[in-house]
Amino acid sequence: MEKTRKLDDLLPEETRVLLALLAVMGLGYFLLSDLMGGTLFQHQQWDSYTLQALNWLQGRTYIPDGEKYQWLELAIYGGRYYVSFPPLPSVVMLPFAALFGLGTPNNAIVGFYGLIAAALAYEIMLAAGRSPRTSAFWALVCVWGSNMMWMTTNGGVWFQAQALNMVMCLAAVLCAMKGRKALSTTFLALAVGCRPWSIVYLPIFAVCFAWDEREAHGGFCRSCLAQWRCLIGPVLIGACYMAYNYVRFHDPLEFGHNYLPEFMEAEHGQFYIGYLWPNLKRLLTEPIRFQDGLLDVPLFQGFMFYVANPMFIIWAVHFIRRAVKKDLALEDILLAAGMGAELLLTCMHRTLGAWQFGARYTCDMLPFAYMFLAKRGPKRIADWELLIGGLAVVFNVYGAMHMFFNT
């Protein structure tokens, strides 16, 4: 008993529970890696970011021997090869590239992103008044009860981008809840350097900040003007992105995907309104089938996004309940609109993520559904939430193993 009291005095419950959560997840990543043949500290060759970082260190924005990397999605412009993805993950990879060269332990790095995301999700729930154990449950469901579970076991270029995007968006949510408005919008701007559609939430956050302070500033319009500090980070970061794009493609808005051969050869290019309905229908209705005692899981272009990411089901239940009671705040409506806009923009893309478990692009919306649940959901975990959350974790751990052993 005396030792327990000393531990309680040394570490508050919030810290102990967080450490326990991270220990469980860290062990989980290690055990999954062991089943997969010891992949945790290996290099995943689908890593454009390490390649880009190495060329930055040599003073180049292009890949001089790009024809050697036929398995990577490299843009071709002016006879040169370029990494076609937004650049922020390469910034993170710079020290690792300098230390390890082309052999960066990107599987471990993306797993670390998963741990950071879980820690941020935990802190968000704490900031909303949840108990440490309730916060740990929701953090685990957010990261391991979604396609992020599988993505944080694989250091491929797409998964680095999405995992780091989740980290940045969750950091933006946490800062917003703690009143760090300028830092919040800065994190959102950084997220755009991972997943460009994260820009949808920048004006939403700015409007919400202004709305919350409208009385203090004597009206909504004046409150909007008073948010100028929230623009500093996004403007500076956006200027860096645009300058980098211009240097490479002579277009400040072009990250490079339009110059991928698959989109240059496509009849309608990368984005087209005609892609919307077929893609949306697939995300809403494509099922997992049960045949001959086995699951038949669609591994190309995904399946029903709310089956792979059931937090959207939990979000929808609470959103509809509050809507019926006419108890939705402006922030709730704007966040839902932002998620809807991101989903529609995603579905206007020629692909839905191609090879994958679930519907990985929809993970980009999770931090904002999570924000709603933190601020507007009930304080205690309901039995049905416990069931859905538990099943979500089990299903996505299965998905990570399924993707490794069956593709």
C-alpha 184, offset from chain centre: 16
pLDDT for the residue 31 = 96
The residue among 6 and 53 whose pLDDT is bigger is 53
Tokens 């049905």 correspond to what residue? Answer: 384
What are the phi and psi torsion angles at 295 (to 5°)? -80, 135
pLDDT of residue 7: 60
- Residue that is written with structure tokens 């077929």 in the block: 278
Backbone angles phi, psi at 76, to 5 degrees: -120, 120
Question: What local confidence, expressed as pLDDT, does residue 350 receive?
Answer: 87
Alpha helices in 178-298 (DSSP H): 181-192, 201-212, 220-225, 229-249, 261-264, 276-285
pLDDT at 5: 61
Instruction: Provide the pLDDT for residue 4.
Output: 55
3-state secondary structure of 343: helix
CA-closest candidate to residue 161, choices 303, 259, 48, 304: 48
The predicted model gives 202-209 an average pLDDT of 96
DSSP output for 239-260: HHHHHHHHHHHS-TT--SGGGS
Confidence (pLDDT) at 10: 83
Pull the structure tokens for residue 6. 């000393």
Q: Is 292 left (phi over 0), alpha (psi -120 to 50) or beta?
A: left
What is the residue-averaged pLDDT of the chain? 94
pLDDT confidence of residue 247:
96
- Residue 284 phi, psi (nearest 5): -90, -30
How does residue 240 score in pLDDT terms, banded at 50, 70 and 90?
very high
Q: Count up the domains in the chain and report the number.
A: 1
Find the mean pLDDT for residues 28-56: 95
Please check the confidence at residue 29 and state whether its pLDDT lies above 70. Answer: yes
Question: What CA–CA distance (Å, rounded) separates 193 from 200?
Answer: 13
Where b means 16+ CB within 10 Å and e means fewer, 356-389 reads: bbbbbbbbbbbbbbbbbbbbbbeeebeeebeebb
Mean pLDDT, range 309-328, rounded to an integer:
97
Q: Point out the least confidently predicted range of 214-218, 261-265, 379-383.
A: 261-265
The one-letter code for the residue type at 296 is D
Centroid of chain to Cα 127: 21
How much of the chain, in percent, has pLDDT values that exceed 70?
A: 98
pLDDT value, residue 54: 97
Q: How far is CA 353 from the centre of its chain?
A: 14
DSSP 8-state secondary structure symbol assigned to residue 380: S
d(CA 392, CA 146): 7
Asked if residue 125 has pLDDT above 80, the reply is yes
| CA distances, 304 to each of 136, 282, 370, 371 (Å) | 26, 7, 19, 22
Q: Give the closest residue to 352 by CA, choosing from 281, 296, 289.
A: 281
Burial class (CB in 10 A: 0-12, 13-18, 19+), 325: exposed
Q: Which H/E stretch holds residue 296? A: strand 294-296
Band (pLDDT 50/70/90 cuts) for residue 1 is low
Distance CA 191, CA 368 (A): 13
Q: How far is CA 390 from CA 74, 172, 297, 309, 385, in A?
A: 39, 26, 20, 12, 8
Q: Which residue has the higher pLDDT, 292 or 315?
A: 315
Predicted confidence (pLDDT) at residue 180 exceeds the cutoff of 90: yes
Residues β-bridged to residue 300: 355
Which domain, by its residues, includes 348? 2-406
Lowest mean pLDDT among 4-18, 47-61, 277-291, 298-312: 4-18
Q: Which of 87-96, 211-220, 264-273, 320-329 has the lowest mean pLDDT?
A: 264-273
